[in-house]
Amino acid sequence: MNAAAAAIDVRGLNKHFGDRHVVRDLTLTVQHGEIYGFLGPNGSGKTTSIRMLCGLLTPDNGSGTCLGFDVIRETYAIKREVGYMTQRFSLWEDLTIRENLDFVARMYSIANRVKVVRDAIDGLGLGARRNQLAGQLSGGWKQRLALAACMLHRPKLLLLDEPTAGVDPKARRDFWDQIHALAGEGIAVLVSTHYMDEAERCHRLAYIFEGRLLAAGTAAEVVARENLAAWAVTGPDLPRLAAALRQRPGVEQVTMFGGTLHVTGRDAALLAATVNALAADKRDRWQPIEAGLEDVFISLMDRAGKGGMQ
């Protein structure tokens, strides 16, 4: 095991389930102390990718390491060294917080188990609830418990599969504060999410669609690489305007954001000509804007779905 290597360094990972090619040539590098966002629609292969990285699934082919261990030959060692938080709460609802953590500590044969469990409970603010049944906890407290369980054996890599789904905004913010604190201690974090604000809190991110990685880099790099021109328009009849825009040259995406339409396309000159023609209707107000992550991901998904990316 090479401690100086990247936490995750894999190339060309593939996974089939029968005739379904679920993950296609996944190449990914995550450094220690880095929060790496993993984005994509449901069914895009995120969970399968994470399970390959944590040793629960063996890739059909490809190569690479996770915490220095070979992802094909040393899956048992990987499972002992990473912390994996699943999409759904996977601890025991009829056990208390303390009992759940004690059970996990026993599975990992953790020395000084009683102290380790007590410190985990106190460290994540669970002390007042230590004897509460896990099944009685709210989503936010279940999330804290799951994270505490992931961290008991002091992993150097956390794999978090949509950890904030169904959690209120305050609990989401608190959770991300904890994740950034862990990254500050040198722990690598790979986290899948559907939330654009969470994606922007990651050091780097990747976007996967139908098993294929479409984009990777910092948020700014991903947006710049797609080179989308974007306009925002407000007006009295946006549904009518949206329908008309979808038939116009240069318009690739029309998306409603509250009381505003975002209109995007990769041919800036052609899109500007369309906007200028429509701006003659003084009821609508147009202004150029910078494309955001959500604009870019919608564009990537649409283009890939039409076969425009290979």
pLDDT in tens, 186-242: 999 999 988 888 999 999 999 999 999 999 999 999 999 989 999 999 999 999 999
> 103 and 14, same structural domain?
yes
The answer to whether the Cα torsion of 305, 51, 7, 62 is positive or negative is: negative
Has residue 176 been placed in a domain? Answer: yes
Has residue 222 been placed in a domain? Answer: no
Q: What pLDDT sits at residue 125?
A: 80
> 287 and 153, same structural domain?
no
> 12 and 135, same structural domain?
yes
Contact predicate 191/202, CB 8 Å: yes
Has residue 138 been placed in a domain? Answer: yes
Task: Name all contacts of 240-249 with Cβ < 8 Å and 24+ positions apart.
Answer: 241/278, 241/284, 244/278, 245/274, 245/278, 248/274, 248/278, 249/273, 249/274
Q: What pLDDT sits at residue 175?
A: 87
Task: Give the pairing of strands 253-257 and 260-265.
Answer: antiparallel
pLDDT(253) > 80 = yes
> 271 and 149, same structural domain?
no
Coil, strand or helix: which one is 225? helix
> 276 and 205, same structural domain?
no
> 168 and 22, same structural domain?
yes
> Which of 226, 285, 276, 223 minimizes the C-alpha distance to 248?
276
Last residue of a domain, one of 166, 193, 217: 217
Q: What pLDDT sits at residue 307?
A: 62
**Beta carbons within 10 angstroms of residue 71's beta carbon:** 24
153-181 confidence digits (pLDDT tens): 999 999 999 888 777 888 888 889 999 99
Has residue 2 been placed in a domain? Answer: no
The residue segments making up the domain with residue 300 are 227-305
Name the strands in the sheet holding 61-66, side by side, starting at the edge strand that comes first in the sequence: 69-70, 61-66, 8-17, 20-30, 212-217, 204-209, 35-39, 188-192, 157-161, 82-85
Has residue 310 been placed in a domain? Answer: no
Q: Kindly report the CATH number assigned to the domain that includes residue 289.
A: 3.30.70.2070
> 189 and 69, same structural domain?
yes
pTM of the shown model: 0.87
> 233 and 199, same structural domain?
no
Q: What pLDDT sits at residue 308?
A: 54
Number of domains in the chain: 2
Q: What average pLDDT does this structure show over 273-282?
A: 90
> 134 and 38, same structural domain?
yes
Task: Give the pairing of strands 8-17 and 61-66.
Answer: antiparallel
The angle at the Cα of 165, spanning 139 to 13, to the nearest 5 degrees, equals 130
> 91 and 38, same structural domain?
yes
Provide the pLDDT confidence category of residue 309 given band limits of 50, 70 and 90.
low
> 290 and 182, same structural domain?
no
Q: Kindly report the CATH number assigned to the domain that includes residue 168.
A: 3.40.50.300
Has residue 123 been placed in a domain? Answer: yes
82-91 confidence digits (pLDDT tens): 999 988 888 8
> 249 and 162, same structural domain?
no
Q: What pLDDT sits at residue 88?
A: 81
Last residue of a domain, one of 194, 217, 240: 217
102-157 confidence digits (pLDDT tens): 999 999 899 889 999 999 888 878 788 889 999 998 888 888 888 889 989 999 99
Q: Got the DSSP string for 149-209?
A: HHHTT--SEEEEESTTTT--HHHHHHHHHHHHHHHHTT-EEEEE-S-HHHHTTSSEEEEEE
Has residue 186 been placed in a domain? Answer: yes
Has residue 274 been placed in a domain? Answer: yes
E strand or H helix that includes residue 55: none
Q: What average pLDDT does this structure show over 31-50?
A: 93
